[in-house]
Structure 1
Amino acid sequence: MVFSGQLSNGAVDWYISLWQALPSGWTLRGATKSTAGGAYKISYTPTTPIRTTFRTVIGPKFYGAPAMSPAVIGTAQDRRIVINKPAASYITLTGVAVTGYTVPAEPGLEVVLQDLLGSGKWRWLTSVKVDAKGNFRLPVPDNFPSSRTVRVVSRGVPSTAVEVSPTAWVVIKAGLNPKVYAVSASMVPKTYRSGCPVGPSSLRLLTMNYWGFDGLVHKGELILRDAAVQKMITVWTASFNAKFPIRRMQRVDVFGGSDIRAMEADNTSAFNCRQVTGNPYALSPHSYGYAIDINTVENPYLAANNVWYPSNGLSYRNRSWIRAGMLFTNSTPTKSLVGQGYFWGANWSKPDYQHFQPR
């Protein structure tokens, strides 16, 4: 709270004191000396919310002062930032956020989410503007597991007016988080057409998390036969827990239904009603929604025409040079799929290291 005024005689260097009316009497709250033209300014910061009367007087005493200002009503509210209690824990990539509100509501106020580093310093994570009701929602990075102490701080206000919330503890755990949805024809415009052995009503969209080559958690999707969904959840739960890396996992429609384009993008996918790549006379097992290809660049495929696909995966024909994302007999996806009754194409005379299909 700032109280300012001017002496009518313009006197300089006169002692001016600020007084607050309390039930016990007038109480001194601050003092200063007048400056050029008799101007003065006195600041006072209450420790609790108040609405009471103030006066300024000449001299150090209230009673018997030679002159005093008219009484003014001073109001101070209990400004604070409140954080809603976080859940005990969250799963990666579920839109984790710190929510809360300001008291009183301060629409347009910028608030900053910070987390505490091991060095004892606070790091800026993100900021938002408070809405019309004083509420805010600050996203927390949730593409990797973490446990962190956070707080919310006001920004863009004088240093004396900065508000800091109490701290909160946010725990994010890595998890597959599988979700299953029905499939419509509009969701598979490039991978399904009339005459395919399986229609959209027998397919499902399975979304889930996976570990990327960058060490972070990403969201993936597979279009599958309905009867294959539970098996795939079992397989990918084990693979996720083992942190087996996946480059990307998108429906082949993203690549215009082209198996070659999808393989060159190192895409992991399942359903695609098409002919076998390299053998236009045979219908691909992927047309039935059960077969799956994994990390297609790291696990290339020798087609019936003796061409290796994809062309950017040729260095991975050397299976003695072990690199991330390659599949072997002891790899978690391989063991899990075989355990679910799948056959691995690496065992064919023309190896298909990326491919698995039911026996």
Structure 2
Amino acid sequence: MAFVVLASVSCGAREPVASPDSMTETAATSSAAPVSATVAASPTPSPTAPPKFSAKVSRVARDRVPYSWQSGCPVHLRDLRLITMTYWGFDDKPHTGELVVRETVTDDVVTVFRKLYDWRWPIKQMKLVDAYKADDFDSIEADNTSAFNCRRATGSSNWSNHAYGEAIDINPRENPYVTASGSTAHENAKKFTKRPTKGKGVVNPGDKVVKAFAQVGWEWGGYWSGTKDFQHFSKGGG
């Protein structure tokens, strides 16, 4: 019987009961030991990255172009498309803008504006010219980037490439229409009449904006002889 009791104790079926003296010693040791606590550091929040470029191409509803399109325009309404896309603003933030162009050039436009956004190349604003009742002068005064507008070319009786939905004016204040004599009709654009020049949203000869348009077959009005239209890009020129 003695052998059985010893075996039971050695297997640890129960812990030996501590004596009062040993409990006091343990408590004293525990209270004297310094207590250290490790507090997990809060992770540093990473800045939120700007959204990726996006573009949506859709048909143009008649009520979206109440002033810029009318019967008799060289391009029918059914052949126009609305591009709703991301652009990088002068405030260094992403924005959503709209351009109306001809269906046949939508891929060209999306390709170029994707590059501009990825470069963080700034655009002041991008609204349909109908926000200004299709008044080209008022749209330019507001430094508005726009495309389709069924109107005649400046100083001509011929249709502008804008009337075909195959031209875009970008940052028209920073990139004004300049006559051969060096003047511009917009007071707020006078300091931008020379090229090359520095400034946010400025297009200069041979820069990456001009090259991006050239890669899809668009020409820049800044290369015209005599009159310069620094804001103007069009499919095939003109």
What TM-score does the superposition give when structure 1 sets the normalisation length? 0.51
Mapped to 1, the partners of 2:125 and 2:178 lie a distance apart of 22
What is the deviation of 1:280?
Answer: 4.7
Show the counterpart of 2:121. Answer: 244
Which of 153, 158, 166 pairs up with 1:290?
Answer: 166
CA contact (8 A) 1:299 1:352 kept: yes
Cα RMSD for the two superposed structures = 2.1
In the alignment, residue 221 of structure 2 is paired with which amino acid?
G
Show the counterpart of 2:194. Answer: 318
Which of 137, 140, 143 pairs up with 1:266?
Answer: 143
Q: How does 1:28-39 map to 2 (within 5 A)?
A: none
**Local SS of the residue matching 1:283:** coil
In the alignment, residue 165 of structure 2 is paired with which amino acid?
G
In the alignment, residue 356 of structure 1 is paired with which amino acid?
F
Mapped to 2, the partners of 1:315 and 1:208 lie a distance apart of 30
Show the counterpart of 1:340. Answer: 216
Mapped to 2, the partners of 1:185 and 1:213 lie a distance apart of 31
Cα separation, partners in 2 of 1:302 and 1:201, compared to 1, 3 Å = same
What is the deviation of 1:185?
Answer: 1.8
Q: Which has the higher helix share?
A: 2
Show the counterpart of 2:20. Answer: none
Q: Deviations over 1:127-178 (max 9, x none)?
A: xxxxxxxxxxxxxxxxxxxx46xxxxxxxxxxxxxxxxxxxxxx54432210
Mapped to 2, the partners of 1:309 and 1:221 lie a distance apart of 26
What is the deviation of 1:330?
Answer: 3.9
Show the counterpart of 1:226. Answer: 103
Q: Deviations over 1:201-235 (max 9, x none)?
A: 10010011111111111111100100110111110
Whether 1:308 aligns to 2:184 is yes
Identity of aligned residues (%): 38
Q: Deviations over 1:290-311 (max 9, x none)?
A: 1111000000002589852433
CA contact (8 A) 1:224 1:289 kept: yes
Cα separation, partners in 2 of 1:303 and 1:189, compared to 1, 3 Å = farther
What is the deviation of 1:283?
Answer: 1.7
Q: Which has the higher strand share?
A: 1
Cα separation, partners in 2 of 1:325 and 1:337, compared to 1, 3 Å = same
Mapped to 1, the partners of 2:204 and 2:196 lie a distance apart of 10
- Structure 1 stretches lacking a partner, 5+ long: 1-115, 121-146, 149-170
Q: Which has the higher contact order (CA 8 A, sep 6+)?
A: 2
What is the deviation of 1:254?
Answer: 0.3
Q: How does 1:16-31 map to 2 (within 5 A)?
A: none
Number of aligned residues: 194
Cα separation, partners in 2 of 1:283 and 1:117, compared to 1, 3 Å = farther
Show the counterpart of 2:134. Answer: 257
Show the counterpart of 2:7. Answer: none
**Local SS of the residue matching 1:308:** coil
In the alignment, residue 145 of structure 2 is paired with which amino acid?
T
CA contact (8 A) 1:303 1:309 kept: no
Cα separation, partners in 2 of 1:348 and 1:330, compared to 1, 3 Å = closer
What is the deviation of 1:250?
Answer: 0.6
**Local SS of the residue matching 2:204:** coil
- Structure 2 stretches lacking a partner, 5+ long: 1-41
CA contact (8 A) 1:244 1:332 kept: no
Show the counterpart of 1:207. Answer: 84
CA contact (8 A) 2:170 2:231 kept: yes
Mapped to 2, the partners of 1:236 and 1:346 lie a distance apart of 19
Mapped to 2, the partners of 1:231 and 1:182 lie a distance apart of 17
CA contact (8 A) 1:180 1:205 kept: yes
